[in-house]
Amino acid sequence: MLNNNINMLNKYWHYVEFEKSNFSYVPRSSGIYFIGNLERRLIQIPIGLEIAYVGKSKNLRQRVKKHSDYRNGHNNILNKFLKTKKNLEFWYLETEPNEIDLYESLLIKEISKFNQNLTNKLKMKTHKGELYV
């Protein structure tokens, strides 16, 4: 499925917990991210991760701070999720600015196969005029 130009598999995902506000650990670089609710961790392995939202940002630290203030968010369904869930995590993958649209579209596509309740308002986005379906 992924061609040579897409190098998402060779990159490392990182996360911070929302409750602990560890946002200083999130870089100011560009990347894609998702917000999820975790059932629990077993030896640092996430168990029962329910992904609610997939996004992209030119500044990941700024974006996680905006999402942490659920009263001023841009997505009412996501805001309700952030307000009611307890074990929230912000997972991110640093990418080059020219890669974020493609990576975000691929991630939304793949997660939507397993989670029909993804709160993204746009399920698919375009990259250079092509729709990734």
| E-strand stretches of the chain | 14-17, 31-37, 40-42, 45-47, 50-57, 88-94, 126-127, 130-131
Domains of the chain, start order: 10-131 (3.40.1440.10)
Q: 3-class SS at 64?
A: helix
Average pLDDT over residues 20-42: 86
CA atoms of 80 and 28, how far apart (whole Å): 26
| Lowest mean pLDDT, pick from 45-49, 74-78, 126-130 | 126-130
Mean pLDDT for 38-62 is 85
Instruction: Read off the pLDDT of residues 79-123 as tens digits, 9 standing for 90 and up.
Output: 777 777 778 888 999 998 988 888 888 888 888 887 766 666 544
